[in-house]
A and B are shown apart, each in its own frame.
Chain A
Amino acid sequence: MMPILVAAQAPPAEPAAVDYWSMLFVFVLATFIGLGVIRRVSRLLYTPLMSLTNAISAIAVVGSIVVAGADYPQVIRILGAVALFASMTNIVSGFLITDRMLKMFKKQ
């Protein structure tokens, strides 16, 4: 779509064949762990749970850092930077508001 500079520091050895089966494996196991752990979450805490899982799934930040910071064409890096901004916003506001809400839950 545009002239592209060949990356000087290309990503270190993209594994020859990505092992998609083991990725699927990880996905299925993680889902079951998730279901098991979430089912035990206190019903009082569903709102903070949602903001916490939201902050955790902003782990997309690691993908965004690569797209924004590697030696890619500028258009690509702009997309990455916006994605990084969005993920970072979720991480910051998600963890902060979760803690703010949890602080309010008192026994007496």
Chain B
Amino acid sequence: MTHAIAQLAAVLATALFIFSLHWMNDPKTARRGVMAGVTGMLVAVLATWVQPEIVHHAWVVLAIVAGFVVGVPLSLVPLTAVPQRTALSHAFGGLAAGLVGTAEYFLGLGENPAQLTAFRMSAIVAEVILGFLTFTGSLMAAGKLQEVKWIPQRPVTYPGQNVVNIGVLVTAAALGVLVVVHPTAAWSGEVFYAIVGLAVLFGVLLIIPIGGADMPTVISILNSYAGLSAVAMGFVLNNKLLVTAGALDGSSGLILSIIMCRAMNRSFTNVLFGAFGTVQKVKAIGEQKAWKQETVEGAAQLLDQARLVVVIPGYGMAVAQAQHKVRELYDQLTKRGVTVRFAIHPVAGRMPGHMNVLLAEADIPYTALVEMDEINPEMPQCDVALVIGANDVVNPAARYAKDSPIYGMPIIDADKARTVLAIKRSKNPGFAGIDNELYVEDNTWMLFGDAKAVLGELVRQFGAGGIH
């Protein structure tokens, strides 16, 4: 009877999860999707909890309460910290899979070795390797994003890095084959621990060479791994609900990874083993053209006289927490009859969709947020392109400079606007370590300073003083 309840609950939860994701196709219905997800989860948890084999209820209650105690504060982080929270949750997902896999192996070893069939052992090994590498890899990514002191922000590379990384993974897989073939030998337990250790190590090694600009892709890939480790857990526990939910998560991570890679014109292997940030080719620009600086007053005049202003935000806007000032400027300009659009590059920021969330937080209507592909044809009609803390995603060198690390990457055509205003914190090159030719174009004017401060000044021009 209870078994039937569990099966029915699994079917119901699966359907609810699919609806949940389906409703994400429109911001209008998306919150309904969350409700569907919560309901599905509740149904699945309750149906599992009432099973007769659950006898230690205190343990379950305790762990669930602890989950709430940590989970609630984690959901209240500032939106600029959402990338690291996401990475952290991938780490938790990987950890859960890894631990359950380990528990299942030793449980089988101690109680019922006959359960450790070749298929089940393969699933356990896959679950443990995927789980633990996702755990440490995501922790490293979260640390880099949070700018934890003892984790280097810059990509760390050394000779033979790829050989070492692949060697570690291949060794783990080979040991995995060994325990699949001999799951109950006297030494199998030790080999299993070695697999866990190698997976933990591989996760760290995999993320060490990754730089900030690659984070959107890497987070998506880790998302996919976390889903796949849940699938492997489903195979181990013979639970179809885990397989379906894990597959939904895995395919979501896969699609996002593909979109991110395409938006950088790079392949998975290139992101993971290419050490993007180290290219550091600081190429001198032709005859070393100089920047032209603009005053805040002049910039305000330009914006005031424009009909169409396209704002191009980047990670710098997030770092400066400037989204609310952007909103004030948006209000001022709209009030004056200027059309303002926001051009969103898929990899702007540190995770997929990062800019959209920040701008939505500042109450900018989502109808003003436009994808790169849609805005580019309009750029020649744009009077002022306002670049806020974006760099590589507007670098025209991506179109033609074959030796540039960003060559071939689709960019937002800021340079085709009549005038470009670029707010930039310092005169240093961007994350890819390359000069941006946009900044020295004839129609570009620079505004140096912290994005929030500069935008504040601009808004003040429109407010009390200068422009009426």
Contact = CB atoms under 8 A, between A and B. Distances in A.
Given A34-B21, A59-B13, A60-B233, A104 B357 contact: yes
Given A1-B189, A14-B115, A105-B366, A47 B27 contact: no
Given A66-B48, A80-B103, A30 B365 contact: no
Given A12-B3, A35-B254, A67-B103, A48 B92 contact: no
Contact of A9 (B20, B21, B52, B102): B52
A88 B45 CA distance: 10
B48 A62 contact: yes
B64 A88 contact: yes
Given A60-B233, A82-B99, A92 B24 contact: no
Contact of B89 (A6, A31, A40, A93): A93
Interface in A49-108: 49-73, 75-77, 79-108
8 contacts: A47-B353, A52-B24, A68-B59, A69-B57, A69-B59, A71-B56, A83-B97, A96-B76
B30 A26 contact: no
B60 A65 contact: yes
Interface residues of B, number: 119
Contacts of B253: 50, 53
A83 to B, nearest CB: 4
Interface string B217-258: 001100100110011011111111111111111111111100
Interface of B: 2-3, 13-14, 17-18, 20-22, 24-28, 30-31, 33-34, 37-38, 40-41, 44-45, 48-49, 51-57, 59-60, 62-64, 66-68, 70-72, 74-77, 79, 82, 85-86, 89-90, 92-93, 95-97, 99-100, 102-104, 106-107, 109-111, 115, 119-120, 189, 219-220, 223, 226-227, 230-231, 233-256, 346, 351-354, 356-357, 360-361, 363, 365-367, 369, 371
A6 B107 CA distance: 11
Given A35-B251, A52-B33, A62-B241, 15 more contacts: A9-B52, A27-B243, A34-B252, A37-B21, A63-B96, A79-B102, A88-B68, A89-B92, A91-B71, A95-B34, A97-B82, A103-B31, A104-B363, A105-B30, A105-B360
Contact of B237 (A44, A63, A105): A63
Nearest to B107: A76
Interface in A10-34: 10-12, 14-15, 18, 20, 23, 26-27, 30-31, 33-34
Which among A9, A57, A65, A67 has the greatest number of chain B C-beta atoms within 10 A?
A57
B189 A23 contact: no
Given A27-B243, A47-B357, A56-B17, A91 B24 contact: no
A98 B233 CA distance: 25
A80 B429 CA distance: 48
For the complex, would chain A's binding face be called helix, strand, loop or mixed by DSSP majority?
helix
B201 to A, nearest CB: 20
A78 B92 CA distance: 16
B233 A63 contact: yes
Nearest to A73: B110
A42 to B, nearest CB: 6
For the complex, would chain B's binding face be called helix, strand, loop or mixed by DSSP majority?
helix
B227 A53 contact: yes
B352 A47 contact: yes
Contacts of B356: 43-47, 105
B53 A70 contact: yes
A80 B104 CA distance: 10
Given A66-B53, A101-B79, A56 B71 contact: no
B110 to A, nearest CB: 4
Contacts of A2: 110
B53 A46 contact: no
Contacts of B115: 14
B99 A42 contact: no
A31 B41 CA distance: 19
B247 A34 contact: yes
A97 to B, nearest CB: 4
A26 B67 contact: no
Contacts of B56: 68-71, 77
A64 to B, nearest CB: 6
